[in-house]
Amino acid sequence: MEEHVKVEDISKLDWRSDRNVRALEGKKASLIEREAQGRARLAELEEIVRKGEASLVQVRAAILLDQEADETAEAVQQRVSSCQQEMREIQADLQATQLARTKLEPTIEAAGSEARLRLAQLLQQPYRETAESLRAVIEKAVELNKVLHAIHALTVKQNLRSEISASPDLKPLSLLAAWNLLSAPNGSLSGELQYWNGYIDKIFMER
C-alpha cells in the first residue's frame, strides 16, 4: 500500500524552526537581554550618583562647619566620577546595541522569507500527490456508489418490495445506501463532484 503523508507530520513543520532563523532570533534575544541588563545597571548607577552627589553636599557642609564627616569629599567625588564614567560606557553600549538590533531586523526578515519559501516548496509535492490520491479514492467510491444505485434500482425494477419487506434480513435492500453527493442513480457524477474535479484540474494545471 502506498504510504501517504500524515496530518501529524504536516503539523510538525514550522518555518520558524529553520536553523538560520533560530540562530538570528537567538542573536536578537541576546541583544535584547544585553540592553535590559545595561538599562538595569544604568538605573543602579544613577541612584548611586544621586546619593553620592547628596553626600558630597553633606561632606562639604561638614567641612565648612569644621565637623567630622563619614568620608572625605575626595572619596565621594571619586565614587561619583567612577559611576558617571561607567554610565557613559553603558550609554555608548546601549546605542551600539540598539543600532545592531536595527541592522539585524532586515536580515531576520530575509531569513524568515527564505525559510517560508523553502517550506512552501516542501509542501508542494505532497499537496499535489495527496489531491491525486484523494481523486483516485473518490473515483473508486463513485464506482462502488454506482453499484449500490444499480442494486437498489434492480429491486425496484424487479418489484421485490414485498419479498424484501417480508424478510427482516433483507430490509436493508429497501433503503438506498448510495450517496447522491457522489453520483446520481443514472450514473452521472454529482454537480459538486464535477465542480471539484474541474477545480483540482485548474489549480494543479502546469504553468
pLDDT recorded at residue 124: 92
Q: How many domains does the chain have?
A: 1
Any domain includes 2 = no
Any domain includes 88 = yes
Averaged pLDDT for residues 135-163: 94
CA distances from 34 to 29, 88, 108 (A): 9, 16, 18
Q: What is the rounded end-to-end Cα distance, in angstroms, of the chain?
A: 31
Name the residue range of residue 178's domain: 15-203
pTM of structure: 0.73
Any domain includes 130 = yes
Q: What is the pLDDT of residues 190-203, one digit of tens each?
A: 999 999 999 999 98
Which helix (H) or strand (E) is 200 found in, with range? helix 191-203
Q: What is the pLDDT of residues 11-67, one digit of tens each?
A: 999 999 999 999 999 999 999 999 999 999 999 999 999 999 999 898 888 888 888
